[in-house]
């Protein structure tokens, strides 16, 4: 009887403790939500003044834990995958959605969810990022203000229908990059102006450092993460410079006009004075890659053909070959490429058009180093065989390089092969993952690309 009574008492105590924890947790969340609402009241007038527009409806506010946001994002990612043309199985959709939702939930300090018009803040992540970047807790409220300012700017963009103008551009990489740079770049530019108006520019600098450490990346591949981080930094730097120039030459109305009519080329971010929404006439070398995905198998393939991604290429060059990045970029005239995916198979064909064949060794070295940096995992627990590098002789080419890499075991084992085929001033890079590709098959693909290239350049 005494033992039963003791068990009963312990059960009651555990239940009471649980109720106390729930109440304490609820009080903490209530306090955090009240703090976010106060930030919105303080910051909104500054955002509206900086943007030159009034926010008609205040977004619903949500202070969430990582688990809560992870569940929301997993649903959103799953809908995106289901509506895409990736032809993924339901199990693969669940796996990818769950993985990336977890990565984003760990990284995000704040989010504006356009589908539900909610402004979400994650105090847990903000404090973790502050600790990681050695920002003192005394700056928390000021940091929170600028995070709220950034997300309120996205709410204004949503109100004006800016993001919707780019929804149809997601099949063209350059236009997708341009849309992302305009949306995020403008939010950053406006947040900077809010920080100046509130006399906390030093906090904006702290937040910039925090954001550089908050990318949602695959932590198993440190090299891939470094390239991704460098690309984001390059994009934000150029976008800030672009918006600064246009603001100086037309104020807020001009910025909204530019966002509503995006520049026709990413090159215009390097030279804001050349801005035009009208496409410039040029040789479309990406056309030589059309339909080449079918050389890897019948698919069905989800295919994106890109033109020259000058911003991504510049950032990758700075990360992979920092001492020779400028020389590399001087030698490359064009770099169209095709990326295709079918289930777990991925293929890429990249065409480098160079100023002269003297640049070929440098471009080949960049291609090889980039392959290794992206696909050799830094997580030592992942088994790796290779990369095995070979120079092979195939008639009709000045140089052929091949690398083979096997990553993982069992059902997660992935076979990757990477080639460079050089002829005169041109180089074709062929990459295949999850597709068995022989030397002769890869050479046949490269020959056809170069034959097509010669055809359009002779017109």
What's 358's domain CATH number? 3.40.1000.70
Among 308, 238, 231, 307, CA closest to 270: 238
Is 293 part of any domain?
yes
1: which residues sit within 8 A by CB, 6+ positions away?
none
- Flag whether 4 is in a domain: no
**How many C-beta atoms surround the C-beta of residue 394 within 10 A?**
17
Looking at residue 218, what is its pLDDT?
62
Residues 37-42: contacts with CB under 8 Å, at least 24 apart: 37/61, 39/141, 39/144, 39/145, 39/148, 40/119, 40/148, 40/152, 42/145
Same domain, 72 and 204: yes
Residues 252 and 381 in one domain: no
Specify if 6 maps to a domain: no
Question: Tokens 């090159």 label which residue?
Answer: 267
292 and 259 inside one domain: no
Same domain, 291 and 230: no
Residues 237 and 93 in one domain: yes
List the chain pLDDT tens, one digit each, 459 residues.
Answer: 444 444 444 444 444 444 443 344 456 677 888 999 999 999 999 999 999 999 999 999 888 888 888 888 888 888 877 776 556 778 888 888 888 888 888 888 898 988 788 899 999 899 999 998 999 999 999 999 999 999 999 999 999 998 877 766 655 566 778 888 999 999 999 999 999 999 999 999 999 888 877 765 566 777 888 888 888 889 999 999 999 999 999 999 999 999 999 998 888 999 999 999 987 767 788 889 999 999 988 778 888 888 888 899 999 999 999 999 999 999 999 999 999 888 888 999 999 999 999 999 999 999 999 999 999 988 888 999 999 999 999 999 999 999 999 998 887 888 999 999 999 999 999 999 988 889 999 999 999 999 999 988 766
Domain boundary among 220, 251, 274: 274
Last residue of a domain, one of 245, 274, 303: 274
Whether residues 263 and 311 fall in one domain: no
Residues 221 and 316 in one domain: no
Domain-located, residue 216 = yes
Is 392 in the same domain as 264? Answer: no
Closest to 367 measured CA to CA, from 428, 304, 423, 432: 428
Burial class, 313, CB count within 10 angstroms (exposed 0-12 / middle 13-18 / buried 19+) = buried
Residue 12 forms part of a structural domain: no
Residues of the domain holding 370 = 285-457
Regarding whether 291 and 270 lie in a shared domain, the answer is no
Q: Is residue 5 part of a domain?
A: no
Q: What are phi and psi of 458, to 5 degrees?
A: -90, -5
- Its pTM stands at 0.79
325 with 228, same domain? Answer: no
State the pLDDT at residue 22: 39
- My answer on whether 30 and 100 are in the same domain is yes
Q: Which residues of 399-417 are buried (b: 16+ CB within 10 A; e: fewer)?
A: bbbbbbbbbeeeeeeebbb
Is 161 inside a domain boundary?
Answer: yes
At residue 144, the pLDDT reads: 96
Looking at the structure of the chain, the number of domains it has is: 2
Q: Does residue 3 sit within a domain?
A: no
Residues 70 and 90 grouped into a single domain: yes
Q: Which of 210, 239, 274 corresponds to the end of one domain?
A: 274
């Amino acid at each position: 009887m005494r033992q039963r009574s003791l068990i009963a008492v312990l059960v009651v105590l555990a239940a009471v403790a649980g109720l106390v924890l729930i109440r304490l947790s609820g009080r903490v969340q209530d306090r955090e939500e009240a703090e976010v609402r106060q930030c919105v009241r303080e910051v909104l007038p500054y955002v509206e003044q900086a943007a030159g527009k009034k926010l008609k409806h205040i977004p619903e506010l949500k202070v969430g834990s990582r688990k809560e946001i992870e569940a929301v994002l997993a649903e959103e990612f799953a809908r995106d995958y289901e509506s895409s043309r990736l032809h993924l199985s339901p199990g693969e959709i669940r796996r990818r959605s769950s993985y990336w939702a977890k990565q984003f939930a760990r990284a995000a300090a704040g989010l504006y969810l356009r589908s539900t018009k909610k402004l979400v803040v994650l105090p847990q992540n903000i404090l973790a990022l502050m600790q990681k970047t050695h920002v003192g807790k005394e700056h928390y409220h000021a940091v929170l203000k600028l995070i709220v300012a950034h997300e309120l700017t996205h709410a204004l963009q949503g109100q004006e229908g800016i993001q919707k103008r780019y929804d149809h551009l997601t099949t063209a990489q350059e236009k997708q990059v341009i849309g992302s740079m305009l949306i995020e770049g403008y939010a950053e530019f406006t947040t900077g102006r809010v920080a100046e108006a509130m006399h906390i520019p030093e906090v904006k600098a702290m937040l910039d450092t925090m954001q550089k450490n908050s990318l949602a990346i695959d932590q198993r591949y440190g090299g891939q993460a470094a390239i991704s981080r460098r690309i984001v930094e390059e994009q934000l730097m150029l976008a800030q410079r672009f918006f600064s120039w246009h603001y100086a030459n037309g104020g807020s109305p001009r910025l909204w006009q530019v966002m509503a009519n995006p520049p026709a080329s990413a090159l215009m971010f390097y030279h804001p004075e050349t801005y035009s929404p009208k496409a410039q006439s040029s040789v479309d070398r990406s056309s030589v890659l059309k339909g080449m995905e079918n050389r890897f198998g019948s698919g069905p393939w989800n295919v994106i053909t890109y033109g020259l991604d000058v911003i991504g290429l510049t950032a990758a060059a700075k990360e992979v070959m920092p001492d020779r990045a400028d020389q590399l970029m001087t030698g490359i005239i064009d770099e169209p490429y095709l990326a295709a995916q079918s289930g777990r198979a991925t293929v890429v064909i990249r065409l480098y058009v160079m100023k002269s064949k003297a640049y070929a060794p440098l471009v080949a070295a960049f291609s090889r180093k980039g392959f290794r940096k992206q696909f050799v995992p830094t997580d030592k627990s992942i088994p790796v065989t290779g990369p095995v590098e070979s120079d092979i002789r195939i008639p009709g080419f000045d140089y052929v390089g091949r690398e083979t890499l096997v990553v993982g075991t069992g059902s997660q084992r992935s076979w990757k092969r990477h080639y460079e085929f050089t002829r005169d001033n041109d180089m074709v890079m062929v990459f295949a993952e999850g597709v068995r590709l022989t030397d002769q098959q890869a050479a046949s693909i490269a020959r056809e690309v170069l034959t097509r290239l010669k055809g359009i350049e002779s017109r």
